[in-house]
Amino acid sequence: MAHEPNNYSATQENTNLTAPSPRFNGAGGAPLEKDFSNNGNPYHLGANHDSDDALKRIQTAGSISISPELFEKLYLTPQNRVHGDLRKTFGNPTPLALIGFLLCLSPLSCDLMGWRGAGGNGAAGIGSYFFFGGLLMVLGGIGEWILGNTFPFVVFSSFGAFWLTWAATLQPFYGAYAAYSTTSNPADGINTVGFRSSFAFFFLAMGLMCFIYLICSLRTNIVFFLIFLTLVIAFGCLAGAYWNLNLGNVALAVRLQTTAGACTFVTSACGWWIFFAIMLAALDFPFQIPVGDLSHIIRGASERARDNAKNV
């Protein structure tokens, strides 16, 4: 991924990017941990620096800044100006939300495809939908909100709510499908036209939401773009599967559900890739895996305005 320092000349001056200020070994000793603040220092840690080079720069320069590419890999959002030192105080909440998402979607995608006899709309995973998908993604969203990262805050919080909604719908206690049952068995409500048509509109709305996220992800990276692209297709197929069941097109409905499962399987694969990339970057591993930075392709409005002002 090419680094274009001119596009980020303003954000390079931001002293509130990620990690804590360094602790020192006694008065004037060498720093014990990295300081990602810039403080006017020209030394800069990019994605292509190994840990030894980073350590030398830290020991000699006292502080470094974090490259825009690495920042966008860690936080799934372009660099932005945030007041205060919260990014120096708190850990990165992004991988927490991602792992909550993946540990729900990965098994559900296999359920939708019916692998090894799985099925039941993933009802066996209700617990994980509540405590991994719902809890961890909402906590991750709150963490992103505290740090001032609007896009991942909205994405993680909305998907946390999705998992809670999915779990509550499948949980008999909430009576979502029981309200449609015309027999003494509440579970019969799942197979009614009213329930399936109503729930399909929820999938349609989720697909619209993911389409908006898809457009916004053009400012992040290719992996994130693929995640939302496959989710848009998956939610559309799920809505179509429910409506075709109501029309009696069982074979087509099964194919649409299987297609949705295949799409979410690709979503999960992309999610595991970016989770791995973030964890490697967070621990300053000597090697990194690419995520396909897109932020330098579609430049922000503030960057364009700054460059136009320079040309005047």
What residue spans of 62-216 are helical by DSSP H? 68-75, 86-89, 94-113, 126-128, 135-147, 150-170, 193-216
What span, in angstroms and rounded, lies between the C-alpha atoms of 11 and 207?
A: 33
Q: What is the pLDDT of residues 7-62, one digit of tens each?
A: 434 433 333 333 334 444 454 444 443 344 444 444 445 555 555 555 444 443 33
* Section 136-154 average pLDDT: 92
Mean pLDDT of 171-186: 89
Record the tokens describing residue 95, joined without a space.
Answer: 């991988």
Q: What percent of the chain has pLDDT over 90?
A: 46
Type of residue numbered 10: A
Q: Please state, rounded to an integer, the average pLDDT across all residues of the chain.
A: 78
Residue with tokens 């389409």: 211
The mean per-residue pLDDT over the stretch 278-302 comes to 82
3 state SS of 66? strand
Is the pTM higher than 0.85? The answer reads: no
pLDDT reported for residue 65: 46
Give the start-end residues of each E strand in 221-287: none
pLDDT at 17: 34
